[in-house]
């Protein structure tokens, strides 16, 4: 099972130097994947949690591809209804080829009603649009693959991870996804969903918050607790069939982007213990 990191590409402490340092540390610790978030218009509902500067994900990952060598790069998650699907297909294919096939496209329907309004995209149609756009992406890549006489390195279809855990999201993941990509759930909740539904590969994003004493809350999110609890969460996810687990050390406080040392220590602790346990 591979481990990834959700890197904050937003907030008052984030700049090119900080993004480069996140990438250097994560790749140096042996993490397999770097992922970033997506917002286009920083409306008030977005700014409360993910304020400016907010670095656009395709641009950011293209730049990070040039300052890394082996780590995969991805979106967790690209809000698919915000962009024309043919544009997404072209950008994703380009990034995959330029990075040597390292790109993973994680997608979701989005939640920020004001941002949808600013972009002129109907909020209530976001699920339907996401399904339509995923179908278009699949058709574009199928056609391109069939018409290429010889596939170039990195020209294979881009892996698509589908986020969400509603009934509609699970149907979407089963129909269009290469992996189901749930965000910040408990291990018990993920186990129940995997038991009750036929889904593709499993690649969750979990929280990362190391505590000194055990967290006894029955609703405890995966990745929150002592290092022993977190390592057990990872082992349970491995047993559930997770191909990749993405660790998310951001907990909603934009000021924390100015102080990444806590997140880096947690990532170091997990990487060190996981390598030893494995």
pLDDT digits (tens, 9 = 90+) for 119-155: 999 999 999 999 999 999 999 999 887 776 554 544 4
> Which tokens go with 138?
């699949």
Beta carbons of 60 and 9 less than 8 angstroms apart: yes
**What pLDDT is attached to residue 148?**
65
- Split into its structural domains, the chain has a count of 1
- What does the DSSP 8-state code read for residue 125? G
pLDDT in tens, 183-203: 999 999 999 999 999 999 999
In angstroms, the CA 238 to CA 244 distance is 9
Average pLDDT over residues 223-248: 98
- List phi, psi (to 5°) of 176: -115, -15
Task: Report the distance separating Cα 99 and Cα 224, nearest Å.
Answer: 33
Ranges of beta strands (E only) in 160-269 are: 160-163, 179-181, 201-202, 205-207, 209-210, 224-225, 244-248
What pLDDT is attached to residue 135?
Answer: 97
Q: Inform me whether the pLDDT recorded for 94 exceeds 90.
A: yes
Which H or E element spans position 222? none
What domain range is 9 assigned to? 2-276
- Tens of pLDDT, residue by residue over 258-278, are 999 999 999 999 999 997 776
Tell me the C-alpha to C-alpha distance, in Å, between residue 7 and each of 57, 105, 153, 188, 233. Answer: 11, 15, 27, 26, 21
Rounded to an integer, what distance in angstroms lies between the CA atom of residue 245 and that of residue 32?
10
Q: What are phi and psi of 255, to 5 degrees?
A: -65, -25
CATH number for 266: 3.20.20.30
Alpha carbon distance, N-terminus to C-terminus of the chain? 10
pLDDT at 146: 77
Is the sign of the CA dihedral 106, 152, 58, 30 positive or negative?
A: positive
How many DSSP H helices and E strands does the chain contain? 10, 11
Lowest mean pLDDT among 95-109, 123-137, 150-164: 150-164
Average confidence score pLDDT of the chain? 95
3-state secondary structure of 82: helix
Are 37 and 11 a contacting pair, CB within 8 Å?
no
């Amino acid at each position: 099972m591979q481990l990834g990191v959700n890197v904050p590409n937003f907030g008052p402490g984030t700049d090119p130097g900080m993004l480069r340092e996140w990438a250097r540390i994560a790749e140096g610790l042996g993490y397999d994947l770097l992922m970033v978030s997506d917002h286009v218009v920083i409306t008030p509902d977005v700014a409360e949690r993910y304020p400016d500067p907010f670095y656009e994900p395709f641009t950011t990952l293209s730049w990070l591809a040039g300052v890394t060598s082996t780590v995969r790069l991805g979106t967790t998650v690209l809000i698919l209804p915000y962009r024309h699907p043919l544009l997404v297909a072209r950008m994703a294919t380009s990034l995959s080829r330029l990075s040597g096939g390292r790109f993973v496209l994680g997608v979701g329907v989005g939640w920020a009603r004001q941002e949808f309004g600013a972009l002129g995209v109907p909020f209530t149609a976001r699920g339907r649009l996401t399904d339509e756009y995923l179908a278009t992406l699949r058709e574009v890549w199928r056609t391109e693959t069939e018409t290429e006489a010889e596939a170039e390195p990195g020209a294979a279809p881009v892996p698509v991870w589908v986020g969400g855990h509603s009934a509609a999201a699970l149907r979407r993941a089963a129909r269009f996804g290469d992996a189901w990509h749930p965000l910040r759930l408990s291990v018990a909740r993920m186990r129940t969903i995997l038991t009750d539904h036929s889904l593709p590969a499993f690649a969750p994003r979990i929280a990362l918050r190391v505590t000194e004493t055990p967290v006894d809350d029955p609703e405890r999110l995966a990745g929150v607790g002592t290092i022993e609890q977190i390592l057990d969460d990872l082992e349970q996810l491995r047993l559930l069939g997770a191909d990749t687990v993405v660790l998310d050390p951001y907990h909603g406080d934009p000021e924390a982007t100015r102080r990444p040392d806590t997140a880096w220590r947690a990532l170091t602790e997990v990487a060190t213990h996981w390598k030893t346990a494995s």
